[in-house]
Amino acid sequence: METVTTIRAFQIARRTLKGSVGFVPTMGYLHEGHLSLARLAHTSCDAVVASIFVNPTQFAPTEDLAAYPRNLERDLALLESEGVELVLAPTSNEEFYPADYNTWVDVLGITQRLEGASRPTHFRGVATIVAKLFNVVQPQRAFFGQKDAQQALVIRRLVRDLNFPIELVLGPTIRESDGLAMSSRNAYLTPQQRAAAPVLRRCLDHVEALYDQGERHAETLRSEMTKILQAEPLALPDYVSVADLEAMEELEMVTDKALVSLAVRVGKTRLIDNTILPRGQGLF
Amino acid sequence: METVTTIRAFQIARRTLKGSVGFVPTMGYLHEGHLSLARLAHTSCDAVVASIFVNPTQFAPTEDLAAYPRNLERDLALLESEGVELVLAPTSNEEFYPADYNTWVDVLGITQRLEGASRPTHFRGVATIVAKLFNVVQPQRAFFGQKDAQQALVIRRLVRDLNFPIELVLGPTIRESDGLAMSSRNAYLTPQQRAAAPVLRRCLDHVEALYDQGERHAETLRSEMTKILQAEPLALPDYVSVADLEAMEELEMVTDKALVSLAVRVGKTRLIDNTILPRGQGLF
């Protein structure tokens, strides 16, 4: 595995990769979710490239950029053990955002709701860094996790609208044994908060069960999630949503595929999770 | 020469091109300026690709989108005579902008002034279509004319900020024998207006002469251009500018390279022209 810290060095190393390239962009502090994407990439690509970059432009000034967990040495060992061929891990933000940086990519519509409503500049930062990484890495396929479902839909729109010649592949959400979706931010949780965090998955389990029993009123599904969250004193709901998969608008009735998602603060940590109805359907 | 009307057909044809690809994006109604770029492209690239697409998103609702001159048959004959290998000429705007299109690329700063001040949504449309075309065409080099100097600087910034792996090459402004910069919009001019139109080049000639005589006060250069324009009854100045080449801010003194540019309405037709000081310097 070759690790480079500059775009220039990456471009030179990239030319040595033969055949199709799969790309797994990450913000580091890797967990089984990231590693499962690297494995998935190896099933369809000749070489796998990963990036490790805590992208500052997708954090608001009030958010956790400085505190975001980092462990580059461990991350590189994990990627090497997965057989990743090449890693771009810039050591400075200036590598992607020089002092006079001034170009932004905005996916409108879908970014105004849910995560975009709670974090108004978040998806501009995501779309911009993903466009930049796609131009640097030039992969045939790029791999993202379903845990960040709205992000995946935004990037699908970005790829389609800007005509990136890249196939997007989604990997399933990987969970701890008690159902908590894996996330680098889980590292923030105290033991007591960690014990409360599976409440997100319990909400989704309950919605899936109600749907299987025939419930199709989206407001009922939303209010059932809210009830479960209200019973957990450590959980402060940000949103609960049952939305369509194109514009991410709240549904009245679940007649077609729907994205059930929620964001919850547990202490200072904001956790998200989601599922697709009908159960077992893919996001794309 | 192969001509295709869809992105899908283009991508298939693109794969048959061997070696380095040079790209000349155009809005059609080709003149010697465009053709000189195709010739320039052939000097450094193995194959040359052109696009013909009157990009609707760079026109404001009040502008001349519907009236913009078109002659596809003549354009294709000219490109064929220049040895262009592949042309993308979509027959519908939906090919690039489907009904639910919603992604925009904004280069901030440099786009707020001059052309961007006169045409507030223009450069968003330019940056977006250029990003799309670059992803579709995937050239090694892209060729633009110095006549649209601010556009060239915006695209240079776009390429640098979004890490497009593309080299930009500028071709010189090509002029009629009386000095008028070639432009598809010259077709709008009545004979009387056409006779008045070389006033733009006369302004630049005068500024170059004053600079050669030692004049370095930018305001003097600007006011001398205004005087010449005021003496031409058919010319209505939009702006005269002596600006730096990075942020395009108006200069007080010309101490380094400067872009001298102007925009003038002659009847309903808006004409632009520019030169670089010191004379003979390139924009990049």
**CB atoms B131 and A162 under 8 Å:** yes
**CB atoms B103 and A138 under 8 Å:** no
For residue A127, pLDDT beyond 90: yes
How much is the pLDDT for B16? 97
B98: nearest CA partner in chain A = A161
> What digits encode the pLDDT tens for the residues B20-41?
999 999 999 999 999 999 999 9
pTM of the predicted structure, to 2 decimals: 0.97
How much is the pLDDT for A142? 98
CA A124 from chain centre, in angstroms, equals 14
Partners of B165 on chain A (C-beta within 8 Å) are 11, 135-136, 138
Check CB contact of A12 with chain B, cutoff 8 Å: no
> What digits encode the pLDDT tens for the residues A245-272?
988 999 999 999 999 999 999 999 999 9
How much is the pLDDT for B280? 87
How much is the pLDDT for A59? 96
Q: Region B201-216: what's the mean pLDDT?
A: 98
Nearest to A163 among B127, B136, B246 (CB): B136
For residue B264, pLDDT beyond 90: yes
B132: nearest CA partner in chain A = A162
Nearest to B165 among A102, A131, A138 (CB): A138
**CB atoms A162 and B138 under 8 Å:** no
User: What is A2-171's CATH number, 3.40.50.620, 2.30.30.190, 1.10.150.130, 3.40.50.300?
Assistant: 3.40.50.620
d(CA B246, CA B171): 19
Nearest to B135 among A108, A110, A165 (CB): A165
| CA-based nearest distance B156→chain A, Å | 11
d(CA A59, CA A122): 6
How much is the pLDDT for A280? 87
Q: Is B34 known to be catalytic?
A: yes
Mean of per-residue pLDDT scores for chain A = 97
pLDDT band at residue A125 using 50, 70 and 90 as cut-offs = very high
Check CB contact of B242 with chain A, cutoff 8 Å: no
Partners of B132 on chain A (C-beta within 8 Å) are 161-163
Write out the two tokens for B232. Answer: 């031409």
How much is the pLDDT for B129? 98
The structural domains of chain B, with segments of one domain joined by +, span 2-171, 184-277
Write out the two tokens for A57. Answer: 């432009």
Nearest to A102 among B102, B108, B128 (CB): B108
Q: Region B229-255: what's the mean pLDDT?
A: 97
pLDDT band at residue A193 using 50, 70 and 90 as cut-offs = very high
**CB atoms B163 and A105 under 8 Å:** no
Residues with Cβ within 8 Å of B160's Cβ and at least 6 positions away in sequence, in order, are: none
Check CB contact of B214 with chain A, cutoff 8 Å: no
Q: Name the region of B212 (left: φ>0; alpha: ψ -120 to 50; beta: rest).
A: alpha
Structurally, at CATH architecture level, domain A184-277 sits in: 2-Layer Sandwich (3.30)
**CB atoms B108 and A107 under 8 Å:** no
Check CB contact of B77 with chain A, cutoff 8 Å: no
How much is the pLDDT for B276? 98
Q: Region A175-187: what's the mean pLDDT?
A: 97
**CB atoms A246 and B100 under 8 Å:** yes
Active centre residues of A (catalytic): 34
Check CB contact of B135 with chain A, cutoff 8 Å: yes
Partners of A163 on chain B (C-beta within 8 Å) are 7, 132, 135-136
Mean of per-residue pLDDT scores for chain B = 97
End-to-end CA distance of chain A: 31
Residues with Cβ within 8 Å of A142's Cβ and at least 6 positions away in sequence, in order, are: A22, A23, A24, A25, A134, A155, A166, A167, A168, A169
Check CB contact of A129 with chain B, cutoff 8 Å: no
Check CB contact of B104 with chain A, cutoff 8 Å: yes
Nearest to B101 among A138, A161, A164 (CB): A161
Check CB contact of A8 with chain B, cutoff 8 Å: no
How much is the pLDDT for A262? 98
| % of chain A at pLDDT higher than 90 | 99
Check CB contact of B94 with chain A, cutoff 8 Å: no
How much is the pLDDT for B11? 97
> What digits encode the pLDDT tens for the residues A128-159?
999 999 999 999 999 999 999 999 999 999 99
